[in-house]
Amino acid sequence: MEIETDRLIIKLLTLSQLRLWVNEISTLEKKLNCKYDTEPMEEIFLDIVRNKIKIIEDDTENYMYYSFCQNNS
C-alpha cells in the first residue's frame, strides 16, 4: 500500500521488510534506498515490532493494519 502527495510518499513495510528492520537494518536501507537515521531499535520498541511481526504472520491478509510505514520525503 502506498500514499503519495506532491512532496511525500508513504509506503507500508512488508513482513519481510519488518524482519529486516529488526535483524538486518543495513540490508533494509539498501533495498529501500534510504537511511535509518535515528537511535537503534532497542528494548520496548524492538519488542513491539517483534510482536507486530508475529501478529502479521498469523494474519497476513490484514498486514496493513499492523505494519509500519516508510516515509520517502
Strands (E), the chain: 2-4, 9-12, 69-72
User: What are the phi and psi torsion angles at 60 (to 5°)?
Assistant: -65, -30
Question: Residue 72: is its pLDDT beyond 60?
Answer: no
Any idea where the domains of the chain sit in the sequence?
A: 2-72
The structure's pTM equals 0.78
Strand 9-12's sheet: what is its strand order?
Answer: 2-4, 9-12, 69-72
Rounded to 10 degrees, the C-alpha dihedral 26/31/35/41 comes to -50
pLDDT tens track for 13-36: 899 999 999 999 999 999 988 888
DSSP assignment letter at 33: T
Pairing state of beta strands 69-72 and 9-12? Answer: antiparallel
pLDDT band (50, 70, 90) for residue 71: low
pLDDT tens track for 31-50: 988 888 888 888 898 999 99
